[in-house]
Structure 1
């Protein structure tokens, strides 16, 4: 995601223009909320990718953001508007393994879909089932829980999923995780 060429294929990346946005967010939930707020405020087109990145540099742990688009104009305008808001913006993403919150087709991933439908409707290119050597059958149903957060892996947007009841799958990341040590 950080360069103009996909590492996996050597082909031009669909999103060669990328900026990083530093934040004070300390949780993924807060970073997701901030990214959606920024997206709304900036009026970004639907083909923009917005990702979260866990960052420990600069003496503080936080969740930073990146925005990527095919259009340099879109990214230049976003950079200027973010800087005008007093945000720290850099060229490039924090790392190549961002967790996508905004991506083409994300809004269409609701309810229960087949793996084939998920891949057809969105920028997600592959589904990986934890503990399985092979990809899932395209007809396998995936219960989205209206929370689908794929990750960039080697220039490919991949959704990690896990087995669920009735032979279905669910995205690995839970929309309402139990905080660590909640029962103590």
Structure 2
């Protein structure tokens, strides 16, 4: 699957992924963004202003233009297209169905995720391998595919590489 053809970028002053995820979900809910569309976060490092930007993409130009108009009227800086081709997907078709423990095959069949990549392994996992979603599945676009990075966990299962509640750097100092 390739990203939908119509996309906009939304500049933010946010520096944390959790806040960016929340803003992306709030914007999508506010504008009625369709469930078959995509919403991604992008790490932007230009100049003295590193931040997390957003993108929204859909198969309909009219939908994206309506979202652009609404966001612009709310004071957001909106640009043409996504920030880059490696966005971290927060909203994507099937995301809501990825709860509990699923096999890799179920994860792929229920969502827009096309492939699971296990860190440190050259080959993909067996489709019957169980993946504990933790209700937090954030795949990334890689070469036009939505790919979930996973890592081995207890009992031969996998878990998504990105954790829902990361420990802040230097939290114990």
- TM class by shorter chain equals over 0.9
Paired residue for 2:61?
Answer: 72
Provide the TM-score with structure 2 as the length reference: 0.98
Q: What is the TM-score normalised by the length of structure 1?
A: 0.92
Moved over 3 A (4+): none
For residues 27-73 of structure 1, the C-alpha deviation after alignment (integer angstroms, 9 at most, x for no partner) is 00010000010011011110110000001225301100000111111
> What is the RMSD of the two structures over their aligned residues, measured on CA atoms?
1.0
- The unaligned stretches of length 5 or more in structure 1 are 1-5, 7-12
Alignment of 1:38-53 (within 5 A): 38-53=27-42
Task: Provide the secondary structure at the position in 2 that maps to 1:81.
Answer: helix
Hey, what does 1:100 align to over in structure 2? 89
**How far is the alpha carbon of 1:24 from its aligned partner?**
1.2
Unmatched 5+ residue regions in structure 2? none
1:132 equivalent in alignment to 2:121: yes
Tell me the distance in 1 between the aligned counterparts of 2:145 and 2:156.
26
Alignment match, 1:179: 168
Counterpart in 1 of 2:80? 91
Matched, 1:122 2:111: yes
Residues 1:16 and 2:5 aligned together: yes
2:41 match: secondary structure:
strand
